[in-house]
Amino acid sequence: MKQFVKRLAALALSGLLCTALLSGCAKDGEGMALAVCVGSAPESLDPIYAEDTEGQTVLAHLYENLMRVTVDSTGKTSVLPGMAKSVDQEEETKEGAITVTYTFRLRSARWSDGQPVTAGDFVYAWQRLANPATGSRYADLLSVVKGYQEARAAKDMSLLQVTAKNDSTLVVTLNGRYDWFLKEVCTSPAAMPLRQDVVQKLKAASGDKSWWEGDPTQLVTNGPYTVASLEEGRLLQLTANDRYYAAQPGPQSVTFHFAGSPEEAWSLYESKTVDAVWPLPDARLTELAADPEWSPLPELATYAALFNCASETFGDPALREAMTLAIDRNALAQAAGAAALPAEGVVPPGVPENEEGDFRALSAPLLDNGPEGYEARCQQARDLLAEAGYNSGADLGELEFLYLKNDVNDAVAQLLCQQWLEVLGVQAVPKGLTERGLMSALRNGEYDLAGRTLTASANDAECFLMSWTTESRENLVRYESSAYDTLMKIVAGAADGTARMGCLHDAEALLLMNSAFAPLYTKGTAWELRETFTGAFRDPRGWFSFANVVTRTA
């Protein structure tokens, strides 16, 4: 991490050089109007509530965080200074506790209305994100900030150690070493700066709507674009922000067309109404999957069967292990679509470990998905069930398997419950719920079995694993292990990157050894950009950037 911070000055210089180089190509994109489709209309353009790809993609064009993600001509992404022109890091150890303080010095940047971007804009936005009253699912992005738990418990956001030393200096103190803070939190749409006066003004004018909904063209932004027009349910047009501090080699305008289905999105692409499209329909994915050289882009998501470890039934780890062994992940992945793969662990593919590869690729599979060994695993599952005191799964009575209702989840739930019935005699009945209904049952512990997509707000293995500590509010299975808690505390304080990753691998193995839940399959995706263009990229966390798209030269 220290090396990363020391490189910021060099990165800033290289960023300016890259901008200059791209500006040399700007004649190809100068005045260009780009049209894209990345799904349906965004559910929210409030940074702390935008959970979908559509909303996060739009926000990534409207606002800029302390750091920004860029892509070079080879497709390799880098993290460069954004609103922060420089950052210093200072570490302190007191009574065995490590704190790391980052001091960000902001560049001379302005909002689209001409007002300066200040450290106070970040303080306001981050306090708003952390505040339990707002109920943002991304609040835990800031759980690494010192004072986070105390601020939430006391409902006093001034306890969060994010402060403005002056208008151009932001100070953030973390409660440990977190290698992903600069690269993930400081580039996340959820942590983008906001002007308090603008939010309050728009909120007063929006009536019953959210503050951003009344008139999106009145949004004041600090990113490369502003909102030019909105046709509700049809399209959103962005235009270049002439107050943005950096040269813009890409499109003068970006128009987002909204589609109700992948098939509709694809028809927009085929008719050349748009030049970039996501998501792709099943037919196109199947066509791509026929090529043995093709592989889907990994998503930061693992679909899993959750066991309520605090319930009378599934408090028994032997029963949980039996249920896990009876699962045929290959069949479930096939039911989930062409871009799904059988899960090999909790952390999905695509999460980086070091320059040699990603976390999953550098670890032996923790889950055995070999078809040749499935019957042996089923027999082991039956033996474990008997050891747990059950003559057959029917002794458990009728159980419910709760899940978020949609076509893919319907198919997966039906097949999974069939596997448990055929292998163990366990009678689990699928029950599809709304997102609100499912989350209510999970948070209140009113379930035995449930299906849930496990995601992380940052592209680091720690973020997939920190949810399962005893005190985590995201520990929906109510798993408790002092050994696991200890491992995760060691991770938070690890100074050596190799040792840190070793502990993360150990923690993942322990979590699966105790069968806290059963990973089923990992998700993949694909998108297309017309061959005449280059410069677009998809962030591993899901959103897209079209700000640097230019016409491809020979």
Q: Which two tokens stand for residue 318?
A: 């032997």
Domains and CATH numbers, the chain: 2-12+29-276+527-551 (3.40.190.10), 297-525 (3.10.105.10)
Q: At what angle do helices 407-424 and 317-325 cross, to 10 degrees?
A: 110
Q: CA 491, CA 504: separation in Å to the nearest integer?
A: 7
Residues paired with 452 in a beta bridge: 304
The predicted-structure confidence for 489-517, as pLDDT tens digits, reads as follows 999 888 788 899 999 999 999 999 999 99
End-to-end alpha carbon distance in the chain: 39
Question: Which amino acid appears at position 477 of this protein?
Answer: V
Query: What pLDDT score does 418 carry?
Result: 98
Residue at token pair 């739930």: 413
3-state secondary structure of 204: helix
Query: What pLDDT score does 497 carry?
Result: 84
Query: What pLDDT score does 4 carry?
Result: 44
Cis peptide before 540 (omega within 30 of 0): no
- Residue 192 CB partners (closer than 8 Å, separation 6+): 47, 59, 63, 64, 65, 125
Question: Which amino acid appears at position 13 of this protein?
Answer: L
Q: CA 511, CA 481: separation in Å to the nearest integer?
A: 9
Q: CA 241, CA 31: separation in Å to the nearest integer?
A: 13
Contact in structure between 331 and 318 (CB atoms under 8 Å) = no
Query: What pLDDT score does 30 carry?
Result: 58
Query: What pLDDT score does 554 carry?
Result: 60
In tens digits, the chain (554 residues) has pLDDT values of 444 444 444 444 344 334 333 333 334 445 799 999 999 999 999 999 999 999 999 999 999 999 998 877 666 778 999 999 999 999 998 887 889 999 999 999 999 999 999 999 999 999 999 999 999 989 989 999 999 999 999 999 999 999 999 999 999 999 999 989 999 999 999 999 999 999 999 999 998 899 999 899 999 999 999 999 999 889 999 999 999 999 888 999 999 999 999 999 999 999 999 999 999 998 999 999 999 999 899 999 999 999 999 999 999 999 999 999 999 999 999 999 889 999 999 999 999 998 888 999 998 899 999 999 999 999 999 999 999 999 889 999 999 999 999 999 999 999 999 999 999 999 999 999 999 999 999 999 999 999 999 998 889 999 999 999 999 988 999 999 999 999 999 998 887 888 999 999 999 999 999 999 999 999 999 999 999 999 999 998 999 999 999 998 86
Query: What pLDDT score does 25 carry?
Result: 38
Q: CA 423, CA 355: separation in Å to the nearest integer?
A: 42
Query: What pLDDT score does 373 carry?
Result: 96
Q: CA 433, CA 456: separation in Å to the nearest integer?
A: 22
